[in-house]
Amino acid sequence: MKTVEQIKAAIEAAVAGAGVEVVPNPSPSGQHSLRIEPGRAVEVARFLRDDAELALDFLSNVTGVDWLDREIEETVTETRTVTRMVDGVEQAVEETVEETRQRIEPGFLEAVYHLYSVAKKHGPVVLRMRTVNRTDQVELPSLTPIWRSAEFQEREVFDLYGIIFTGHPDLRRLLMWPGFKDHPMRRDYVEPDDFEYEPTAHDRVLERALAHQAASEAASTAAGEKASEPAEAAEQQGTEADA
């Protein structure tokens, strides 16, 4: 079995502009992965499947990962030129400043593919693809035309993570029902408040019950105020008319 670096070299020799990058895995499992550019993913996948030496004919696992926006604090040392009064004369002086900056690294969705070879009995080779962001540019090319086993698994990733696989022949929700709106496996998914009283109330159930009660009371008072306003207005009008 080739190492990830050798596979990377083989892909780059075969597919121009594949943009392969090795993602090291610090865990003892040693399963390093290859990140590929979504634009050339189908060509890369076809090469991996059809190459005589790699022969990765079996796509075992397809899954999504949600990476949220990350706040990164970094200390930056910067040298800049400042004009300053030195001995009564305005001069340009080099000044070195150390600053702590907060940078937000935008989140993305990731699709991970685990490949094995049935013919050569080796593997896994891990492929990853990233979307541009988590909100509006979430398209990735589907690898179902290359490996049929991605069919249901990509549908599942679409359903639970919201990655849109372009070129998938039948991209529908797999597990949630068709009218469902959100993607429940995202890290920032909030469960709807469909609280039902359970007779065996645990602490968490009681907490949810109180929160639910407060929310529904607030909603009913808001609705009550709205409903009572026109009635009052009508009364006032009535009294005015009487007068």
Partner 1 sequence: MSESQSHSAAAGENPEGRKPGSQNLVSQRPESQKLEGWNRPARTEPEADGQLLEVSMGPHHPSTHGVFRMDVALDGERVIRLRPVFGYLHRNHEKLGEGQSYLSSMPYTDRLDYFCSLSNNWAYALAVEKLAGQQVPERAEYLRVILAELTRFQNHASSIGFLIQEMGASGTPLMYAFREREKILDLFEELTGARMMCNYMRFGGCRVDASPAWLEKARARVAALPGFVDEFERLLATNEILMARCQGVGILRPELAVNAGVTGPMLRASGVGYDIRKVDGYGIYNRFSFRVPLGEHGDVYDRFMVRLLEMRESVKILEQALKEIPAGPVMDPRLKLRNFRPKPGEAYGRIEAPKGELGFYLISDGGPNPYRYRVRPPSLINLTILEDMCLGHSVADVVLISGSVDIVLGEVDR
- Can you give the binding site for partner 1, defined by CB under 8 A? 25-29, 31, 57-61, 63, 65, 112, 114, 118, 121, 124, 126, 144-145, 147-153, 160, 169, 173-177, 184-185
Q: Closest separation between CB of residue 182 and partner 1, Å?
A: 12
Q: Which is nearer to partner 1, 19 or 184 (CB)?
A: 184
Question: Least Å distance between CB 21 and partner 1?
Answer: 16
Question: Which CB, 8 or 116, lies closer to partner 1?
Answer: 116
Instruction: Round to whole Å and give the CA distance between 57 and 219.
Output: 57
Nearer to partner 1, 28 or 199 (CB): 28
Whichever of 3 and 237 has its CB closer to partner 1, that residue is 3
| Cα–Cα distance, 107 to 130 (Å, whole number) | 10
Closer to partner 1 at the Cβ: 34 or 59?
Answer: 59
DSSP 40: G
Nearest approach in angstroms of CB 52 to partner 1 is 16
- CB of 229 vs partner 1, minimal distance in Å: 43
Chain-centre distance of CA 35, in angstroms? 16
Q: In this structure, which long-range contacts are made by residues 160-165, counting pairs with CB atoms below 8 Å and at least 24 apart in sequence?
A: 160/64, 160/184, 160/185, 161/64, 161/66, 161/109, 161/185, 161/186, 162/109, 162/138, 162/186, 163/64, 163/109, 163/111, 163/131, 163/138, 163/139, 164/138, 164/139, 164/140, 165/139, 165/140, 165/141
C-beta closer to partner 1: residue 25 or 221: 25
Measured from the CB of residue 219, what is the shortest distance to partner 1 in angstroms? Answer: 27
Report in angstroms how near the CB of residue 18 gets to partner 1 at its nearest.
20
Bridge partner residues of 75 (DSSP): 100
**What contacts 176, CB < 8 A, 6 or more positions away?**
159, 160, 184
